[in-house]
Amino acid sequence: MLRQLRPQSLRSPSRLVAACTRAYSIQANAASTVKLQDIDPSKLSILETTTPKELVPPTELVFGRTFTDHMLSLEWTASSGWLAPRITPYQNLSLDPASCVFHYAFECFEGMKAYKDTSGKVRLFRPTKNMERMNKSSARIALPTFDGAAMIELIAKFAALEKRFIPDARGYSLYLRPTMIGTQRTLGVGPPGSALLYVIASPVGPYYPTGFKAVSLEATDYAVRAWPGGVGDKKLGANYAPCIVPQLEAAKRGFHQNLWLFGDEEFVTEVGTMNMFVAIKNKETGQKELVTAPLDGTILEGVTRDSVLSLAREKLAPEGWIISERKYTMPELFEASKEGRLLEAFGAGTAAVVSPVRNISWKGNLVECGLRPDQEAGEVAQKMLDWISARQYGDEEHEWSYVVPGQ
Ligand SMILES: Cc1ncc(COP(=O)(O)O)c(C=O)c1O
């Protein structure tokens, strides 16, 4: 049976999925053989800097360029579990050149934000989701897992300590980057016996300081970002470096981002490092449908994706919209665009919240995505930005917003 499938799998990975009923998943949790001692937030020590940094003027902030005064770190060893968490001045790491992270890419990370509300309180947005995702990523590469609630408590304390870095204006936030690396000194390929989990923070400004700017995409089929049974649905650093060359290729031809396709059917998966949404009018019924790819292992489980879906079900479905997590293809978008049924398209991710798409270059065609020349965002993208921001900044009190306690 396997012998018969193999040649076909080489020709067409997507066909293999159809032909094979095996679930493409590894029970990565089982990879951790050691009973872990979990994180103890009560053991946190804080060593504050004696040389606070000068704040960068808000309008000069560049994403991920400047960092706050401190960092949060926790070490783990297979024999002792998680050691006491520490907040220290932001500093270089000192690692053995044989550390396994440098050789076999034992690294995973998260991207999340802290916001300051109008009363000056720091809030995290859906941090539980990021911790859940980080645990899935770390477990998949045999790094240790941890108690998400304990980690949120620590991240909240860290974010509150760095509050002065978040400008008091709408659109600004503190980007938080939890990172885990395997630190064991070994060239042997095996599960790391030690790890470091650290969090750094970078103040960021609004993604669109002068309003939305719709982007042009290049549908990318010559390089594949993720595939069934792979790790594209995990936030591993190793997934990102290989996307830079296709990104440069697209940029060379005048496109802002790659639209990642998969398989002979040309399934649409993600856009750059964002989840992709399209709004289509049904050919027969005229009913509007908001579509995004399903969580089948070929896309990252975006927190913003989940927020968009949830808001769409709450606010658009009652207006008659169908909200779908389903596979869709470039030929389907091409046809809808030609017939004037492709209403809009946008990416969704933590950095921009939503990023409207003007058009997609595909097989010599420029597939227009429903925007008028004078328009930079469709109706749904604009609404989503407003609805999600209201919950991030606490204008609308909602369970997605985690108010840092003790402020
Ligand atoms: C590949 C990829 N897809 C989607 C996303 C969006 O995820 P989120 O909404 O959690 O930021 C990211 C986020 O960074 C990403 O790297």
Per DSSP, the three-state class of 135 is helix
71 and 194 in a single domain? The answer is: yes
286 and 371 in a single domain? The answer is: yes
Tens digits of per-residue pLDDT, 313-340? 999 999 999 999 999 999 999 999 999 9
Instruction: Assess if residue 7 is contained within a domain.
Output: no
Q: Which of 250, 255, 270, 251 is nearest to 216 (CA)?
A: 255
| Dihedrals phi, psi of 159, to nearest 5 degrees | -65, -40
Instruction: Assess if residue 14 is contained within a domain.
Output: no
> Does ligand 1 lie within 6 Å of residue 394's CB atom?
no
Q: Which of 174, 204, 234 is the last residue of a domain?
A: 204
CB atoms within 10 A of CB 11: 9
What mean pLDDT do residues 44-53 have?
Answer: 97
Q: Is the pLDDT of residue 32 over 60?
A: no
Name the token pair of 112.
């999340």
Considering only CA atoms, give the Rg of the chain: 22
Residue 20 has what pLDDT? 43
60 and 177 in a single domain? The answer is: yes
Residue 399 has what pLDDT? 98
Burial of 363 (0-12, 13-18, 19+ CB in 10 A): exposed
321 and 383 in a single domain? The answer is: yes
How many residues are given for the chain? Answer: 407
Instruction: Assess if residue 275 is contained within a domain.
Output: yes
Name the token pair of 51.
């040389």
The full DSSP string for 16-62 is HHHH--------GGGG--SPPPPP-GGG-EE---SSPPPPPPGGG--
pLDDT band with cut points at 50, 70 and 90 for residue 35:
low
What is the identity of the amino acid at 92? N
Whole-number Å distance, alpha carbon 153 to ligand 1 midpoint, is 23
Instruction: Assess if residue 60 is contained within a domain.
Output: yes
The residue assigned the tokens 């790890």 is: 195
Whole-number Å distance, alpha carbon 257 to ligand 1 midpoint, is 14
Rounded to two decimals, the pTM is 0.92
> Does ligand 1 lie within 6 Å of residue 224's CB atom?
no
Residue 89 has what pLDDT? 97
- CA 368 vs. chain centroid, Å, equals 26
Percentage of the chain modeled with pLDDT above 70: 91
116 and 226 in a single domain? The answer is: no
> Does ligand 1 lie within 6 Å of residue 350's CB atom?
yes
Q: Which of 150, 171, 204 is the last residue of a domain?
A: 204
Q: Is the pLDDT of residue 22 over 80?
A: no
**What's the Cα-to-Cα distance from 17 to each of 3, 4, 262, 293, 298, rounded to whole Å?**
15, 14, 12, 16, 12
Instruction: Assess if residue 78 is contained within a domain.
Output: yes
Helix, strand, coil % in the chain, rounded to nearest 5: 30, 30, 45
Residue 337 has what pLDDT? 98
Atom of ligand 1 at shortest distance to CA of 270?
3
Question: For all residues of the chain together, what is the average pLDDT?
Answer: 92
- In sequence order, what are the beta bridge partners of 87? 46, 72
Whole-number Å distance, alpha carbon 368 to ligand 1 midpoint, is 24
Instruction: Assess if residue 398 is contained within a domain.
Output: no
> Does ligand 1 lie within 6 Å of residue 110's CB atom?
no
252 and 385 in a single domain? The answer is: yes
Residue 18 has what pLDDT? 43
> Does ligand 1 lie within 6 Å of residue 302's CB atom?
yes
Per DSSP, the three-state class of 340 is coil
Which 8-state DSSP code applies to residue 207?
S
285 and 342 in a single domain? The answer is: yes
**C-alpha atoms less than 13 angstroms from C-alpha of 52 in its C-beta half-sphere:** 9
Name the token pair of 311.
């808001």
How many structural domains does the chain have? 2
**CA-closest residue to ligand 1 atom 7:** 302
Tens digits of per-residue pLDDT, 168-225? 999 999 999 999 999 999 999 999 999 999 999 999 998 888 889 999 999 999 999 9
175 and 250 in a single domain? The answer is: no
Whole-number Å distance, alpha carbon 300 to ligand 1 midpoint, is 6
Domain of residue 80, CATH code: 3.30.470.10
**201-232 residues labelled b (16+ CB within 10 A) or e (exposed):** bbbbbbbbeeebebbbbbbbbeebbbbbbebb
Q: Which of 161, 181, 204 is the last residue of a domain?
A: 204
Per DSSP, the three-state class of 343 is strand
**Domain span at 73:** 41-204
Question: What does the angle CA 299 – CA 300 – CA 303 come to, to the nearest 5 degrees?
Answer: 135
**CA-closest residue to ligand 1 atom 2:** 273
Tens digits of per-residue pLDDT, 218-245? 999 999 999 999 999 999 999 999 999 9
Q: How many helices (H) and strands (E) does the chain have?
A: 9, 19
Name the token pair of 59.
């309008």
Q: Is the pLDDT of residue 117 over 90?
A: yes
Cα 124 to Cα 114: distance, rounded to the nearest angstrom: 5
Residue 30 has what pLDDT? 47
> Does ligand 1 lie within 6 Å of residue 111's CB atom?
yes
The full DSSP string for 52-121 is PPPPPPGGG--TTT---SEEEEEEEETTTEE---EEEE-------TTBHHHHH--EEE--EEEEE-TTS-
Tens digits of per-residue pLDDT, 240-266? 999 999 999 999 999 999 999 999 999
> Does ligand 1 lie within 6 Å of residue 272's CB atom?
no
191 and 228 in a single domain? The answer is: no
100 and 240 in a single domain? The answer is: no
193 and 57 in a single domain? The answer is: yes
Atom of ligand 1 at shortest distance to CA of 274?
4
Name the token pair of 343.
């209403």
Instruction: Assess if residue 162 is contained within a domain.
Output: yes
Domain of residue 234, CATH code: 3.20.10.10
> Does ligand 1 lie within 6 Å of residue 293's CB atom?
no
Q: Which of 382, 401, 351 is nearest to 205 (CA)?
A: 351
> Does ligand 1 lie within 6 Å of residue 347's CB atom?
no
Whole-number Å distance, alpha carbon 137 to ligand 1 midpoint, is 13
Question: Which of the residue ranges 33-37, 80-84, 113-117 would you say has the lowest mean pLDDT?
Answer: 33-37
**272-308 residues labelled b (16+ CB within 10 A) or e (exposed):** bbbbbbbbbbeeeeeebbbbbbeebbbbbbbbbbbbb
What mean pLDDT do residues 32-61 have?
Answer: 88
**CA-closest residue to ligand 1 atom 5:** 274
196 and 297 in a single domain? The answer is: no
Instruction: Assess if residue 369 is contained within a domain.
Output: yes
